[in-house]
Amino acid sequence: FAAPHALPPLMEAAKRGHFECVLLLLDKGANHRAQDGKGDTALALASWKGHAPVVAALCAGGADVDYADQDGWTALMGAASSGNLDTVNVLIKAGAEVNLQNKHRLTAVKLAATEGNRHAVVALLEAGAVLSGQKRARDKRGKFVKVGLAGNRPGAMVRSRLQTPSTIAQGYSPMDPKN
């Protein structure tokens, strides 16, 4: 018999990145909606660990890319926070909503920026992520321009023009108050 806190086989395989096992379990009808005690699913566990092929298989198998655990965390937030760029890209391609907020009103792009995951920040901004209180549009040259602000509070953008994603990759951080 299973230990009292053992994960279902699909969740365990996803957490460990066992791609072939995940495919087999999905093919045999494993429940991709099963949750652990915190409300995490196989997709969330694989996303946190950066198992992009497993995440792709779970998405293709019908996993809800925008499902949030009891704290409001989505798979995309976990991948962005952990700096798993390949997984971030898989989730974006699968249609994950880039602007969802967790219970602390943090989005995937804020979490990625806070953790210093520049490439994830770039991917999320290019997918349409917005920073708090800001609306985004592109000007005629394709640069992101700010058309609204939340005000001058910690973490709010105070620049009149957002840097391009390539500038962020070169060291610009949208969460750095001196920028």
- What confidence score (pLDDT) does residue 37 get? 87
Closest CA to 69 of 39, 96, 99, 48: 39
H helices of the chain, in order, are 9-16, 19-27, 42-49, 52-60, 75-82, 85-93, 108-114, 118-126, 165-169
CA distances from 115 to 47, 146, 176 (A): 16, 23, 12
Give the residue ranges of DSSP H helices in 28-117. 42-49, 52-60, 75-82, 85-93, 108-114
pTM given for the model: 0.74
- Closest C-alpha among 149, 175, 150, 153 to residue 163: 175
| CB count in 10 Å sphere of residue 128 | 13
The token pair at 149 is: 């602000």
Residue 61: how many other CB atoms lie within 10 Å:
17
Q: Give, for all 179 residues of the chain, the pLDDT tens digit.
A: 455 568 999 999 999 999 999 999 999 999 999 999 888 999 999 999 999 999 999 999 999 999 999 999 999 999 999 999 999 999 999 999 999 999 999 999 999 999 999 999 999 999 999 976 555 544 455 555 443 333 333 333 323 233 444 444 445 444 444 43
Residue 42's pLDDT is 97
Q: Tell me the CA distances in angstroms from 136 to 15, 17, 126, 131, one per residue in order.
A: 35, 36, 11, 9
